[in-house]
Amino acid sequence: MSANKIVQIQTVQGGSPERPTFAILTNMDINDSAMAEAFLREVAKTFISHRMCSPPQTNGMLFTIIGELSAARCVELWRQIMSEDKALLFFMSQMRVADVIRGSASGEELEKVSIIEGYTFPENLLKLRNDPFVVNGPSKEQMPGVMARFRKLFGK
C-alpha cells in the first residue's frame, strides 16, 4: 500500500440549473512528505487529464489532504509544478477558487490555504477567463471551423 495516494477525484456540479458551477474535488492521503513532490507531479498529470474531461466552465478546485503534508507545503509544491507545466498553469489561471484543506482522519479541518490567492498569473491567461470560447467551449456556429482545424492538424 502506497503512503501517498489519490483516494478520489471527481467533478461536481453546484449552482443552479440556469447558472451551473463546476469544481474538481481531489481527496488525497499524503503520509510520506519526503515523496510529496514526486507524488504531486503525478497528481498534476491526473488533474490535467480530469480537467480536460470536465465541462469547459469548470473554475473551482479543492484538494483535501489527510496525512503529514501541510496545506502550505502542498501549495508551495503545486505552485512550483504550475510554473513548470503550461497546461497546468492555464487550467489553474481559469480557477476562481482553488484551495487545499488538510484535515484529520476524523474529518476535522486543520488548515486551509488558497493556491491562487496572491499568485500572479500571466495577464494573457487571465484575459481568457472571460473569453466565451474558452469558458463555454465552441458554439454551434464555431464548431465546423474547430473541427476543420482539428482535421487539418491531425489528418482525421
Give this prediction's pTM. 0.84
- Cα 39 vs. chain centroid, distance in angstroms? 15
* C-beta separation of 21 from 62 below 8 A: no
Neighbour-count burial of 43, counting CB atoms closer than 10 A to its CB (0-12 exposed, 13-18 middle, 19+ buried)? buried
| Residue in 105, 91, 111, 121 with CA at minimum distance from that of residue 24 | 91
> Rounded to whole angstroms, how far apart are CA atoms 44 and 87?
10
- Domain ranges (residues) in the chain: 4-121
For the record, the C-alpha cell of 4 comes out as: 501517498
State the alpha helices, DSSP H only, in the chain.
Answer: 36-53, 71-84, 86-93, 123-127, 132-136, 143-154
Query: What is the model's pLDDT at position 147?
Result: 60
- Pairing status of strand 20-30 against strand 4-15: antiparallel
pLDDT in single tens digits along all 156 residues of the chain: 468 999 999 999 998 888 889 999 999 999 999 999 999 999 999 999 999 999 988 999 999 999 999 999 999 999 999 999 999 999 999 999 999 999 999 999 999 999 999 999 999 888 888 777 766 666 666 666 656 666 666 665
